[in-house]
Amino acid sequence: MNGNGIERVGRIQLRQFDFEKSVDYYTNIIGLDITGRDENRVYLKAWDEWDHHSVILEKSDSAGMDHIAFKVTNNDALERLEHRIEQFGCTVHRVSNRTRIGEGEAIRFIIPTGHTFELYNEIEYVGVPTGRLNPHPWPDGLRGISPHRLDHALLSGDDVKTTTRFFTEALGFVQTEKVISIDGEELIASFLSTSMTGHDVAFIKGPDAKLHHVGFYLDNWYEVLKASDILSRNEVEIEVTPTRHGITRGETIYFYDPSGNRNEVYTGGYAVYSDFPTITWTEDKIGTGIFYHRRQLNETFSSVFS
């Protein structure tokens, strides 16, 4: 955390039209654990996450993201951030305690790209299977890819510039990297961090209020390769086989869930501090920035959103 009161990305709610198949996919192929169900939602967490859930799957007639939420340190920070969001010009609504399983009160607001965000502090604590006393490095019984945690999301929208101002000025995020037009006039992509990772959320110019991908963190490059094997064995559609990013230096693979939401598993990168200088890429080098080995984008990566 860089002193702004926002600790990390806490959860994402994804719309699923192929609901039961998606639940099976996220539990047995991704390897998340189910922690709760209600009439229209299933709640899941990665094995190395302490809170009740980080992913919510929602029954829907379309794919995409309902909202993404960040956890803050305490209720004082929540109230302070609520005021700053309103000062910036965004309308804030309160989400009542226990609106969703395991969650306390939250604030909800829509950012300039049209995405719905929430901030919250209270969520049920369930712990991890390795425990807190003399723990082993990992638990028995892991399934599928078994990421450590929800890591980030990349979202699309038209007004990346104002959205970046909102995150840096109102919420106190650090802009770690950006992609600009060759003349420097247009901001094409922006990578933003509130923790020590290369990006907790990022934005790319495109259709408003859309999800590009949700990323999960793995321990190392070997685990990314193993994930590729698991996906192929289960005949999951792989969009980009294992490679490296220039932007964030992460190592990655991209693929799709049964409803068409793009997933990523990701490792590597660098540590971010509050004085981290923004790294700049120009539009003519965006291929190298995204796919460092091929140095060019494929057609679907820049055109498919949910």
Single out the catalytic residue among 52, 67, 115, 152.
152
Single out the catalytic residue among 115, 213, 251, 256.
213
Supply 240's token pair: 């980009």
Single out the catalytic residue among 43, 254, 256, 266.
254
Sheet holding 250-256, edge to edge: 238-244, 250-256, 262-268, 210-217, 149-157, 201-205, 187-193, 174-180, 279-282
Q: Would residue 213 show up in a list of annotated catalytic residues for this protein?
A: yes
Single out the catalytic residue among 53, 115, 199, 212.
199
| Residue 161, Ramachandran bin (φ over 0: left; ψ between -120 and 50: alpha; else beta) | alpha
Neighbours of 172 (CB within 10 A): 17
Residues 218, 223, 225, CA angle at the centre, nearest 5°? Answer: 125
- Residue among 40, 63, 43, 60 at smallest CA distance from 51: 43
Single out the catalytic residue among 49, 223, 251, 264.
264
Q: Would residue 245 show up in a list of annotated catalytic residues for this protein?
A: yes
Q: Exposed, middle or buried, 83 (CB in 10 Å: 0-12/13-18/19+)?
A: exposed
Alpha helices in 19-155 (DSSP H): 19-24, 75-88
Sign of CA dihedral 118, 120, 122, 128: positive
Alpha-carbon gap, residue 126 to 123, rounded angstroms: 9
Single out the catalytic residue among 245, 251, 256, 266.
245
3-state helix, strand, coil in the chain (%, to 5): 20, 35, 45
Q: Would residue 199 show up in a list of annotated catalytic residues for this protein?
A: yes
Q: What is 20-42 written as a DSSP string?
A: HHHHHIIIIIS-PEEEEE-SSEE
Using DSSP's 3-state secondary structure scheme, residue 49 falls into coil
Alpha-carbon gap, residue 136 to 209, rounded angstroms: 41
Known catalytic residues are 152, 199, 213, 245, 254, 264
